[in-house]
Amino acid sequence: MKLKTLITSVAVSALLAGPAAAETLRIQTHYAPETVSGKLAGQFVDDVQTMSGGDIQIEMFYSSSVVKSVETFDAAANGILDCDMTGGAYQTGKNPAFQFVGDIMGGYDTPWQQYAWLYNGGFEAADALYNQYNMKLVGWWVYGQESMSSSKPIAGPEDLKDWKFRSPPGLETEIFAELGASPVVMDFTEIFTALETGIIDGADASGLANNVGLGLYDLVKHATYPGFHSMPSDHLACRKDKWDSLTDQQRRIIDTAMQKLAFQTALTFEVANNEAAAKLREQGVTLHDWSPEDRAAFRAAAQKAWQGWAEKTPEARALVDSHMAFLNKLGLVAN
C-alpha cells in the first residue's frame, strides 16, 4: 500500500510539473536562407529539433541579422547569442591561430582531407583555442574550394595586379597583396552592393553555387573554377557554459546533426557547383581554370606565409605544425 501510494504521488507530481522546458539555442549564420548553405543550415535546425523530440529548439538568425558576421563569435561568447555559425577566420584579430581553423589557404585539396585532419588529432588543438574565449568548437561544415568572382578576367597570377577585391580578414590579404592584388576587407553582407557600385572589381565570397545565390553573376562575368585558393571551414561554435549545461544526450544529438551537415554540405556542393558552372557557361560567364603551375605557385606562396603567421603565437605554431605533419602524411607536401 505504501509503495502504491508513493508511485501515485510521484506520477501526480510529474503531471503537475508538466514537461521539461525545451532548451533553446540562438544561432547566427552569415548565409542567406535562399543560398545552398542557408538551406542546409535550415535542415540542420530541423534535424536537431526532430531528433531531440522538441527538447532542443533552435532560433536561427540568417544573413547576420543580429550582429555583423565578424561580431558573431563575441556575441555568442557574451550571451547575446548562444552559438556562432560563421567561421573561425573572422577571429584572427584575437589570435592568428584562428586562421588555421578557419581558412587553411593553400592547404588541402578536398573537404574530406580537411575533415580528416580535424578528426585525426586536429580537434583537440582547435578546441583548446576556442576554450580560451569561453567557446566550444562543435564541428565544421566545409563546402569545398571557393571561386573568386570578377568583372574582368582572372586567368592567372598576372591578372591579379591591381585587382581590387573583397577579401575576408587575415592571411588572405597578405598573400594576395604580395601577388599584386588590392584586397579590401568588408562584411559578407556588403559584397553585392560594393560590386554593383564599382567599389570593388571582384570578390572572394564563397563557392560557385553560393555566389549564384548571392546574385554575383548578375553583375560580373568572370570567375575562377574549379577553385584552389581558399576552402573555409565554417564552424558551429557555442558558448562553453551554455554547451556544458546541455545534457550528454543533447550534446550528442547536436554533434550527430553537425556531422550530417558536414557530410551533406560536401556532397551537395560537389553537385551544386558543377551544375552552377554549366549554367553560368551557358549564360556567358567565363570560368577560369588556373594551370597546375599557377596553382603550385599560389600554394607555395601561401604555405610560406603560414610560417610567418606561425611565429605570432604559440597556438598558431601548434596548429601550423599539426597541419604540416598531416599534409605530409597525406603526401600533399614534401618532407
From first to last of its 335 residues, the chain has per-residue pLDDT tens of 454 554 444 444 444 443 457 899 999 999 999 888 999 999 999 999 999 999 999 999 999 999 999 999 999 999 999 999 999 989 999 999 999 999 999 888 899 999 999 999 999 999 999 999 999 999 999 989 999 999 999 999 999 999 999 998 778 888 999 889 999 998 888 999 999 999 999 999 988 988 998 899 999 999 999 998 999 999 999 999 999 999 999 999 999 999 999 999 999 999 999 999 999 999 999 999 999 889 888 888 888 899 999 999 999 999 999 999 999 998 887 65
The strand order across the sheet containing 202-206 reads 182-185, 164-167, 202-206, 147-150, 222-224, 286-288
Q: To the nearest 10°, the Cα dihedral for 284, 286, 287, 293?
A: 160
> From CA 174, how far away is CA 72, in angstroms rounded?
24
pLDDT for residue 204: 93
Sign of CA dihedral 263, 269, 270, 271: positive
Q: What pLDDT was estimated at residue 278?
A: 97
- pTM for the structure as a whole: 0.82
H/E element, 77: helix 72-77
Let me know how long the chain is: 335
Q: Of 76, 64, 66, which Cα lies nearest the Cα of 133?
A: 76
Give dist(CA 236, CA 329) in Å, integer: 27
Q: For residue 335, what pLDDT is reported?
A: 59
Grid cell listed for 137: 568548437
> Looking at this protein, which amino acid is placed at residue 199?
I
pLDDT at position 189 is 83
